[in-house]
Amino acid sequence: MDKRNISLIILCIAIAISVIFIWFTFVRNTPMTISSSSIRDILKEYVYAIAYLNRSSYALKNVSRGMDYIAPSRDEIVSIVENLQQYSIGLYLPPGSLGELLARSAETYLYISNASIDIVDSLSDIDTTIPIMREILVDVRSCNIDEALSKYFQINRTVIGVIYRLSESYLYLSNVDREKLLSKNHSIIVENSRNIVRSVLDSYNNFEKIMRLVATYRDLLNTLCSIRKNSSIDIETINTLLNRPDIQSSINECRASINSIEAKGVLSRDIAQTRNFIEELLKRYSQNQQQGSGPSGIGGGAGYVPPESDD
């Protein structure tokens, strides 16, 4: 039996156990104002909603790490959303009734299902962009500024789309009222999923920040990289260039801007290396660091980027 079939069996068992648990906890001794079969159907939708969130966030975790992933069915999640929308409107009964409890829970599980849709909608774009984003950051660290920006502009709209969808998903999960969830396990899944979304979103946000900085200071970085690469330029020529007020002003502005970039999430190592490289490049050629420095002075110290490990 392959792993996918085993996972499906485990999921079905988990759903069955959850429905039985919720039935005995919330329904068995409660006066009925709606049919028992309807309640069972509603509770199954809640369990399906949390199960799809779990599968969606697991797929998100895998795809962000360059691993194989299985995307849950978007149509099935949309069907859950449609059912939950009906329940949240149609089950509002007198305060304290079972109908009111289920209606309030329906709104909560609606947030969860909408979060899953946004995750699923982002998976293929993440699968496409993550490796390119890593390449772009390597290009920046290699002083291939124009090449890095060329690649960045090609994927920029897709990156912005991922940021938007993951931001929406994170907002939905942040708005989930834990007290309206029907089990502690559901609360754990929501929190774990929220953390996964946050991790990927952080990386996309900070990648976007660092590339906007590179685009803004493109000319400056190209100038500094040209000096860094060209060992034939004499010190006097370098100092004449770097002592220009506009160059020093740009260096100071860039150094201030880079402080807002944080190394977080799945691309934290790549972002940290790139940020550190730019910081050291700017520091190397700032006015008070030039004295006695040659153009090829960035080596094992300032600007040095260690080789990537397999961690």
Question: What string of H, E and C letters represents the secondary structure of 26-40?
Answer: HHCCCCCCCCHHHHH
Quote the Cα angle for 188-60-185, to 5°: 15
Q: What are the structure tokens assigned to 229, written together?
A: 């690469």
Q: Can you give the pLDDT at residue 229?
A: 80
Return the closest-CA partner of residue 287 out of 237, 254, 245. Answer: 245
User: Count of domains in the chain?
Assistant: 2
Q: Does 60 map to a domain? A: yes
Q: Can you give the pLDDT at residue 244?
A: 80
Q: Can you give the pLDDT at residue 109?
A: 93
State pLDDT tens for residues 89-117.
Answer: 655 555 555 666 676 788 899 999 999 99
Quick one: how far is CA 200 from the chain centroid? 2
Q: Can you give the pLDDT at residue 292?
A: 46
CA separation, residue 243 to residues 171, 177, 226 (Å): 48, 58, 16
273 and 167 both lie in a single domain: no
Backbone torsion region of residue 170, taken as left when φ is above 0, otherwise alpha when ψ lies between -120 and 50, otherwise beta: alpha
Helices (H), the chain: 3-22, 36-64, 74-90, 98-141, 145-174, 184-216, 218-229, 235-242, 245-257, 268-284
**Range picked from 4-8, 14-18, 166-170 for highest mean pLDDT:** 166-170
State pLDDT tens for residues 210-251.
Answer: 999 999 999 999 989 988 887 666 677 777 777 787 888 888
- Quick check: 308 and 267 in contact, CB under 8 A? no
């409660």: which residue's tokens?
Answer: 30
194 and 222 both lie in a single domain: no
Q: Please state, in angstroms and rounded to a whole number, the distance separating the CA atoms of residues 308 and 7.
A: 34
Which of 280-298 are b and which e, b meaning 16 or more Cβ less than 10 Å from the residue's Cβ? bbbebbbeeeeeebebebb
């409107």: which residue's tokens?
Answer: 89
């953390």: which residue's tokens?
Answer: 195
Q: Does 114 map to a domain? A: yes
194 and 271 both lie in a single domain: no
Q: What are the structure tokens assigned to 100, written together?
A: 């009111």
151 and 228 both lie in a single domain: no
Looking at 168, 201, 234, which one is the last position of a domain? 201
94 and 226 both lie in a single domain: no
Q: Cβ of 104: how many Cβ atoms within 10 Å?
A: 15
Q: Does 140 map to a domain? A: yes
Average pLDDT of span 76-94: 77
Q: Does 303 map to a domain? A: no
* Domain hosting residue 13, numbered range: 3-201
151 and 39 both lie in a single domain: yes
- Quick check: 155 and 137 in contact, CB under 8 A? no
Q: Please state, in angstroms and rounded to a whole number, the distance separating the CA atoms of residues 32 and 206.
A: 52
Return the closest-CA partner of residue 207 out of 166, 251, 241. Answer: 166
166 and 254 both lie in a single domain: no
Q: Does 192 map to a domain? A: yes
User: Does residue 191 or residue 83 have the better pLDDT?
Assistant: 191
Computed over its alpha carbons, how large is the radius of gyration of the chain? 26
Q: Please state, in angstroms and rounded to a whole number, the distance separating the CA atoms of residues 127 and 130.
A: 6
Q: Please state, in angstroms and rounded to a whole number, the distance separating the CA atoms of residues 103 and 120.
A: 26
pTM (global) more than 0.95: no
Q: Give Cβ neighbours of residue 85 (< 8 Å, ≥ 6 apart).
A: 110
Q: Is the pLDDT of residue 207 over 60?
A: yes
Instruction: Tell me the DSSP string of 94-110.
Output: STTSHHHHHHHHHHHHH
